[in-house]
Every structure is written in structure tokens, then in C-alpha cells.
Amino acid sequence: MNKKINTANKKIYDEILELKKNLLNFSFQKYSGQLEKTSQIKETRRKIAKLKFDMSKNNGDKNA
């Protein structure tokens, strides 16, 4: 059962890293004036928060 949790957390962790890279790119685009939909930044932050919550829920953390 631990291996299932670890593989699930690994997938979530990889997705969080990818979203953080996107967030960095969005901020660069915003400040250079190339980002058309600034709401993407907020949506990406929310996705990261949801994934972190799911990851802590999988770990069984009480104070995540």
C-alpha cells in the first residue's frame, strides 16, 4: 500500500513542478507584456494548492 501512495505522490509532485515552471513563465510573460490572459496565473496557483492538499491528504498529514 505504501508503494501506491508513493507513486501517487510522485505523480502529483511532478505535476506541481511542471505547474511551478508554467507559473514562472507566466510571470515573465506578464512583465514583458506578452501574457494575454493574466487569469492563468491565478488558475495555476489554485491548481498547485489543490495538488498540495491532495498530496498531504494521501500522506495522512493533519496539519498540512
For residues 44 and 36, give the distance between their C-alpha atoms in angstroms, rounded to a whole number: 15
Taking CA atoms, 52 is separated from 29, 35, 56, in Å, by 25, 26, 6
CB 51 within 8 A of CB 58: no
Taking CA atoms, 64 is separated from 20, 57, 58, in Å, by 19, 8, 11
pLDDT in tens, the chain (64 residues): 566 667 878 899 999 999 999 999 999 999 999 999 999 999 999 999 999 998 888 777 666 5
Helix axes 2-32, 39-59, angle to 10 degrees: 160
